[in-house]
């Protein structure tokens, strides 16, 4: 029976796993917002039982279960004494900023602005990562990647600063009107880019499984205690309420468990270029999901900025495919923490 399952799994192309995972991740922001709206209709003593903090905390616990099941043996077998003090410090720093601070900012941004803004502004991360890689790590990138990154960067800027309607544009109103949610989404993108750079520079030799589990554990713990410190000791008192878990049985198993499992399965049998290409479509799927789930119609600024971001993604992919072909890396696999972070910064927020 096990042999049959293995043969069946191998017969499915890795891109199939990746596409299903990216569809799930793309819908994560909209599903999160929808759940909090449902919770807002059932306040308990003035509290929303399906708060963003509760969703993030429970989602991370679900993700941790998946990671332990998949990478548990690797985590146990890794020789911790091989870690230098500097490696521990850098791993801890990446886990804190990438596993706790950035997701917390994204969830807070979802509470303050619409989903499309969070998704599109989050596209700051890939061009910033590219710029920092060239500046700090002296990475070589080709012309197409640079052009694509610049186009995407301009697209994000237009999403933030253009008025939301044609009337506002003609009347010269609401230019440079940036809300707190947009600022938080931009800060989260900057933090995630910094996390990727630190990982590339300092953590390239750390196994994927160890890195993923450590980042999730430390990030979840830090997020939990930070939220208690900021919002009070009763902030998570509804984290195990039946009403929350009735809906988290959708969010946890589907968005986190199934999404993460498909993603990891796809990573194992797909090349770097395949993962990069599929992951780059996440923002497009996210905008479609926002319309289908929340009936969130894109504004003029989002149409203009989103179109430029999409063009930038396409141009960047041309450069990436050419670079991989030139370096004979078209069929290389994701076997390091560095490669994992590089492809994940194209996917963006994954619901946990």
More confident residue, 13 or 150: 150
Chain-centre distance of CA 299, in angstroms? 23
More confident residue, 336 or 277: 277
pLDDT reported for residue 187? 93
| pLDDT of 1 over the 60 cut | no
Q: For 181-229, how does the pLDDT look when each residue is reduced to its tens digit (9 = 90+)?
A: 889 999 998 998 888 888 877 777 777 778 888 888 898 899 888 888 8
Q: Would you state the structure tokens that stand for residue 317, as one six-digit string? A: 């992919």
Is the alpha carbon torsion for 129, 220, 340, 282 positive or negative?
negative
pTM surpassing 0.75?
yes
pLDDT > 90 in the chain, percent: 2
Looking at residue 271, the DSSP 8-state letter turns out to be B
CA-based radius of gyration for the chain: 20
| H helices present in 78-179, as ranges | 85-96, 102-112, 115-121, 125-137, 143-161, 166-170
> Which residues lie below 8 Å from residue 244, measured CB to CB, with a gap of 6+?
39, 49, 50, 54, 58, 238
> Which residues lie below 8 Å from residue 117, measured CB to CB, with a gap of 6+?
109, 159, 160, 181, 182, 185, 302
pLDDT reported for residue 191? 92
Q: For 103-146, how does the pLDDT look when each residue is reduced to its tens digit (9 = 90+)?
A: 889 888 888 888 888 888 888 888 888 888 888 877 777 788 88
Are the CB atoms for 214 and 63 separated by under 8 Å? no
DSSP sequence for 8-61: HHHHS-HHHHHHHHHHHHHHHHHHHHHHHHHHHTT-BTTB-TT-HHHHHHHHHH
> Which residues lie below 8 Å from residue 341, measured CB to CB, with a gap of 6+?
195, 196, 199, 200
Measured CA to CA, the distance from residue 113 to residue 190 in angstroms comes to 18
Are the CB atoms for 126 and 149 separated by under 8 Å? yes
Are the CB atoms for 60 and 219 separated by under 8 Å? yes
Q: What are phi and psi of 114, to 5 degrees?
A: -75, 160
Please, which residues bridge with residue 44 across strands? 47
pLDDT reported for residue 2? 44
The number of beta carbons lying within 10 Å of the beta carbon of residue 23 is 17
Measured CA to CA, the distance from residue 158 to residue 152 in angstroms comes to 10
Burial level of 337, CB count in 10 A (0-12/13-18/19+)?
A: buried
Please, which residues bridge with residue 47 across strands? 44
Measured CA to CA, the distance from residue 124 to residue 26 in angstroms comes to 16
Assign 62 to helix, strand or coil.
helix
Assign 346 a pLDDT band (cuts: 50, 70, 90): low
Measured CA to CA, the distance from residue 44 to residue 137 in angstroms comes to 51
Measured CA to CA, the distance from residue 225 to residue 233 in angstroms comes to 9
Are the CB atoms for 46 and 232 separated by under 8 Å? no
């Amino acid at each position: 029976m096990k042999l049959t399952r293995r043969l069946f799994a191998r017969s499915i192309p890795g891109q199939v796993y990746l596409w299903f995972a990216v569809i799930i991740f793309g819908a994560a922001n909209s599903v999160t917002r929808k759940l909090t709206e449902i919770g807002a209709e059932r306040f308990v003593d003035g509290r929303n039982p399906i708060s963003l903090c509760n969703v993030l905390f429970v989602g991370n616990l679900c993700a941790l279960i998946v990671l332990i099941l998949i990478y548990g043996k690797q985590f146990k077998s890794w020789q911790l004494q091989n870690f230098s003090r500097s490696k521990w410090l850098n791993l801890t720093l990446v886990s804190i900023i990438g596993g706790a601070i950035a997701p917390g900012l994204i969830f807070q941004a979802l509470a303050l602005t619409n989903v499309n803004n969070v998704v599109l502004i989050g596209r700051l991360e890939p061009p910033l990562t590219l710029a920092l890689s060239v500046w700090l790590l002296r990475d070589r990138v080709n012309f197409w990647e640079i052009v694509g990154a610049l186009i995407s960067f301009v697209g994000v800027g237009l999403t933030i600063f253009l008025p939301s309607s044609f009337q506002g544009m003609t009347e010269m109103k609401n230019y440079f009107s940036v809300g707190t949610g947009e600022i938080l989404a931009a800060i989260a993108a900057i933090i995630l880019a910094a996390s990727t750079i630190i990982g590339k520079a300092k953590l390239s030799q750390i196994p994927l499984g160890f890195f993923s589990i450590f980042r999730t554990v430390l990030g979840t713990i830090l997020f939990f205690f930070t939220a208690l410190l900021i919002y009070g000791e009763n902030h998570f008192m509804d984290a195990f309420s039946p009403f929350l878990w009735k809906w988290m049985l959708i969010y946890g198993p589907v968005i986190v468990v199934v999404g993460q499992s498909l993603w990891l399965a796809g990573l194992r049998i797909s090349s770097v270029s395949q993962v990069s290409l599929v992951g780059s479509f996440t923002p497009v799927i996210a905008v479609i999901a926002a319309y289908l789930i929340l009936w969130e119609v894109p504004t003029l600024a989002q149409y203009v900025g989103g179109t430029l971001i999409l063009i930038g993604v396409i141009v960047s992919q041309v450069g990436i495919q050419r670079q991989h072909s030139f370096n004979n890396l078209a069929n290389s696999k994701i076997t390091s923490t560095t490669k994992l972070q590089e492809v994940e910064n194209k996917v963006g927020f994954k619901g946990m």
